[in-house]
Structure 1
Amino acid sequence: MHLWVELDGMRYEVDALSPLELAQPLNFYGDQPQAFGLGRAQARAVEGGDFVGDVRRGGSVNCEAIELIPHGHGTHTEGVGHISAERVPVGELASEALIPAVVLRVATRSLAESGDSSEGKSSPDDRVICTSELRASLARAEVAPAFRRAIVIATSGEGAAAPLRDYSGKNPAFLTAEALAWLLEQGCEHLLIDLPSIDREDDGGTTPAHRAYFELDAEVGPSDAGRRRTITELIDVPEAAVEGPYLLSLRFARFMLDASPSRPILYRARPDTETP
């Protein structure tokens, strides 16, 4: 099945049969991604009276209760409700079936080397995602501005992402203040990253990148634009997802909470040179 979409007066062909999964698998009984020292996500058979929710133990069905913390247990999407006093539910966000997106691949640098800065707690040796790397990747991607609504960041180098990793206490890379401002300048409404947070693991409790992205004012709350934005963290960007334009399906449970486990999927978009 092929789709054709029109953006900024140009037509693009989308191969809907070649999806690129960005979600990491969450195996409740095996290896799983973790962060912030929150321990493992767990599942157990429901039991009550004569009922046991495990066919292997004689039950008629499998029925499990799960315990997970979206922010530390795998791929998840969050909204401004993550950092605001107002409970803005993530389940009301990103309702579009497909969102124009661009994949950017960046190498981490030390904060001192990057020439950028951090508004929170930091060290010159911290590994960061900086403006110069993002700019260079966007230039290589060669996408129309319409594709910058969703920006997918894949990292490499020291402090970068690794599938099914436990990041707790590892001080993984994070976004500099200038990099975050640059993303907003591009019109980013949905930010996806393969690290556990856009902020430093220990940021002193200030979450500067989150607050800047959601445009959260301590007195008046988030901006209208900030209320509509999402951040998806702990994704896994496959090698097949080269720099360039895509359509993003961003699906997650309709939880009336600040965050939800999610399953983002990319579909490559190519300029259409023929009329279907």
Structure 2
Amino acid sequence: MKLAVQGFTFDLTKTPESIGITLNFEGPQPNHFGATVAAAQPMQSGSFVGDTRQGGSCNAQDVYLNPHCNGTHTESISHIIDELLAPHEVIKQALVLAQVVTVKPEAGYTGTDRYQPVLENNDKIISKKNLTAVCKSIHTGVKALIIRTLPNDESKQSYQYGDEVQPPFFTNDAMKWLAKSTEIEHLLVDMPSVDRLCDDGLLSNHRLFWNVAAGCHQLKDSQYTHKTITEMAYIPQSIEDGIYLLNLQTPKLKLNAVPSHPVIYHPENN
């Protein structure tokens, strides 16, 4: 089956390419904000143990994880408001046109962009100038923006983000431009958060993307409830900047953020 979208043709019979991080419960895994490591252990109920290696009749595991901190995840506006809209309720289209762009965050930024709380000398940021430069040719009909940051080695899939590894983030000016001046509904990034690791709880970029006023935790008509943010993705170097077809796969869990598996279809040569 082939699908034509805005002048691009995609063969849906071909295997799409994953841009999600495999969460290995028995090996290295990414971590953010000092969260407990994701874990899986055999279910136990009475004399039953869910492990064939321990004499059980089948394998059944209890799983512990924090979607926001233990791997690739997709979140809705409910990350910052009281009302609960799960990601699967927000995502209305199974397939959307997406564009991959690559940007190199700036260290020791001296420009005029601002952030709340104020920027510090050691911050690595994606400025409005950075972002508009790589997004200057966003194709008509693109609803999902996939941002790869440099450097981009494979170790990014198991980074322990914290004091020793501070991830980059957007300036408020960059996020305001993205939210107000583009048609992007689904933002996918390879950082663990679009905001600074420690931001005094302001989440100013999240609020700009969803158009939620500072300090507000109530659902309002003016907010962008149709948008999602996917964080801690991983876009291999083999994937070139350009146009793709995105399938943002999320489970039907009634949560503000869920583990997710974004996959992309490569376009045929047109």
User: What TM-score, normalized by structure 1, do the two folds share?
Assistant: 0.89
Residue number in structure 1 paired with 2:149:
155
Structure 2 counterpart of 1:214: 210
CA deviations 1:213-234 (Å, max 9, x no partner) are 1111327634455111000000
3-state secondary structure, aligned to 1:221: coil
Aligned length: 264
Please say if residues 109 and 125 of structure 2, whose CA atoms lie closer than 8 Å, have aligned partners that are also in contact: no
Deviation at 1:54, TM superposition (A): 0.1
C-alpha change, 1:18 and 1:60, in structure 2 (3 Å) is closer
2:193 maps to what in 1?
A: 197
- Note if contact 1:122-1:203 (Cα within 8 Å) is conserved in structure 2: no
- Contact 1:130 1:175 (8 Å CA) reproduced: yes
Q: Which amino acid aligns with 1:212?
A: L
Percent identity, aligned pairs only, is: 32
Deviation at 1:178, TM superposition (A): 1.3
Match of 1:227 in 2: 225
> Retained in 2: the 8 A contact 1:121–1:204?
no
Provide the residue aligned with 2:257 in structure 1: 259
Q: Give SS of 1:91's match.
A: helix
Deviations 1:118-173 (A, max 9, x none): 1224313310112222222224xx442212x1000000049xx8121111233210
Deviation, 1:46, is 0.6
1:165 aligns with 2:159: yes
- TM-score w.r.t. the length of structure 2 is 0.91
Match of 2:122 in 1: 125
Asked if the contact 2:80/2:217 (under 8 Å) is kept, the reply is no
Please tell me whether the aligned partners of residues 45 and 53 of structure 1 are also in contact (alpha carbons under 8 angstroms): yes
Matched to 2:124, the amino acid is R
- Describe the superposition over 1:13-39 as per-residue Cα deviations: whole angstroms up to 9, x where unpaired: 214325221110101111111101002
- Are the counterparts in 1 of residues 5 and 97 from structure 2 also a CA contact under 8 Å? no
Task: Tell me, yes or no, if structure 1 residue 145 matches structure 2 residue 147.
Answer: no
Structure 2 counterpart of 1:78: 75
Given that 1:214 and 1:223 are in contact with CA atoms closer than 8 Å, whether structure 2 keeps it comes out as no
Kept in 2, the 8 Å contact 1:121–1:203? The answer is no
Q: Tell me which residue corresponds to 1:174.
A: 169
Per-residue deviation, residues 63-90 of structure 1 (Å, max 9, x unmatched): 0000000000000000010010222222
1:93, 1:228 within 8 Å by CA — same for their partners in 2? yes
SS in 2 for 1:163: helix
Partner of 1:269: 267
User: 1:188 pairs with 167, 184, 189, which one?
Assistant: 184
Counterpart CA distance in 1 for 2:268 and 2:130 is: 24
> Cα gap change, 1:4/1:82 in structure 2, threshold over 3 Å: closer, same or farther?
same
> RMSD of the TM alignment (CA)?
2.1
Corresponding residue for 2:5? 6
**Aligned equivalents of 2:78, 2:118: Cα separation in 1:** 23
Unaligned residue ranges in structure 1 (runs of 5+): none
Q: CA deviation at 1:3?
A: 1.8
Give me the whole-angstrom Cα distance separating, in 1, the residues matched to 2:30 and 2:232: 8
- The match for 2:29 among 29, 32, 41 is 32
Secondary structure at the counterpart of residue 88 of structure 1: coil
Provide the C-alpha distance between the structure 1 equivalents of 2:111 and 2:158, rounded to a whole number of angstroms: 28
- Looking at structure 1, the residues matched to 218 and 40 of structure 2 have their Cα atoms a distance apart, in angstroms, of 40
SS at match of 1:166: coil
Q: Which amino acid aligns with 2:17?
A: L
* Amino acid corresponding to residue 233 of structure 2 in structure 1: I
Aligned to 2:241: 243
* Partners of 2:186 and 2:223 in 1: CA distance: 11
Residue number in structure 2 paired with 1:19? 16
Map 1:92-111 → 2, pairs under 5 A: 92-110=89-107
Does structure 1 conserve the Cα–Cα contact (< 8 Å) formed by 2:195 and 2:203?
yes
